[in-house]
Amino acid sequence: MRMIGLTGGIGSGKTTVAKIFATLGIPVFNADDTAKELMQNSPLLKEQLIQQFGAEVYQDGQLNKAYLSNIVFKDPYQLNLLNAIVHPASIQAAWDWAAQQNAPYVIKEAALIFESNAAEGLDQVIGVTAPLSLRIHRVMQRDQCTKADVEMRMRNQVSDSIKMKLCDWVIINNDQELLIPQVLKIHEALIKGL
C-alpha cells in the first residue's frame, strides 16, 4: 500500500488537512492517537513505560499524561527514551493498518515523521506550514493553554523551515491561501501515480 506522510509543527493544521483527505475518501491513520492508544492498552509498552518512568505512569489503570508530560517536556533525554519505546510500535501499527486498506493511497498523519525515522518506507511526505504566531494562537485557543505551554511543546520539534525542505509537497495554511485547492492538487497528482 502506498503510504503518504502528513506532517507539520504543532498547530500547523495537520488534522484539518487530514480531514479534507478523508472527505475525498482517503483512509487516514493518526500516529499520535495510535501512540496514545498503545500506551494505554499495549501490555508490552505498559511494562516498558513503568520500567523506565515508574509506576506513577498509570493512575487507576489510566495513562497519567500530566505526570509523563512533566518528565519528558522538560528533559530531551527522557523524551528520546519515551519516543524510543513508543515509535517502533506505532510505526508497525501504521503498516499493519495500511495493509488492510483498499484505496489508491493512504495518509499517515504524524507530528514527528523526520524526527522518529518514520519517513522510512513512506512513498512521499506532505508538510503543512503556518506562521509561528498563528500556530501559537490556534493551539492556545484549541487547547485553552498559555503561550508558554505551547512554546515548551514546540521546543522539542525540528523547526518548520528544516522540516518543509524535506517534504515532497508543502501546504500553506496561513489564513490567506485556501486549503481545499491545495489538497485537491496533491490528491489528483497522487491518484495519477505521480
Cell 499517515 belongs to residue? 108
Can you tell me which of 3, 5, 6, 14 binds ligand ATP, judged by CB under 6 A? 14
Residue/partner pairs of 69-76 with CB below 8 Å, 24 or more apart: 73/152, 73/153, 73/155, 73/156, 76/156
The answer to whether 179 touches 173, Cβ cutoff 8 Å, is: yes
Residue 133 CB, shortest distance to ligand ATP, in Å, is 13
Single out the segment in contact with ligand ATP by CB under 6 A; choices: 49-57, 64-72, 138-146, 159-167.
Answer: 138-146
Residue 8 engages ligand ATP in binding (rule: CB under 6 A): yes
Can you tell me which of 5, 11, 27, 127 binds ligand ATP, judged by CB under 6 A? 11
Q: Which residue, 16 or 42, is less far from ligand ATP as judged by CB? A: 16
Residue 139 engages ligand ATP in binding (rule: CB under 6 A): yes
Residue 12 engages ligand ATP in binding (rule: CB under 6 A): yes
Residue 73 CB, shortest distance to ligand ATP, in Å, is 13
Instruction: Give the DSSP letter string of the chain.
Output: --EEEEE-STTSSHHHHHHHHHHTT--EEEHHHHHHHHHHH-HHHHHHHHHHH-GGGEETTEE-HHHHHHHHTT-HHHHHHHHHHHHHHHHHHHHHHHTT--SS-EEEE-S-STTTTTTTT-SEEEEEE--HHHHHHHHHHHHT--HHHHHHHHTTS--HHHHHHT-SEEEE-SSSS-HHHHHHHHHHHHHTT-
Size of interface with ligand ATP, in residues (CB under 6 A)? 14
Single out the segment in contact with ligand ATP by CB under 6 A; choices: 11-19, 53-61, 72-80, 86-94.
Answer: 11-19
Q: Which residue, 27 or 127, is less far from ligand ATP as judged by CB? A: 127
Residue 187 engages ligand ATP in binding (rule: CB under 6 A): no
Can you tell me which of 87, 108, 138, 163 binds ligand ATP, judged by CB under 6 A? 138
Q: Which residue, 138 or 187, is less far from ligand ATP as judged by CB? A: 138
Residue 127 engages ligand ATP in binding (rule: CB under 6 A): no
Cell 519515551 belongs to residue? 82
Question: Interface residues with ligand ATP (CB under 6 A)?
Answer: 8, 10-16, 111, 138-139, 142, 173, 179
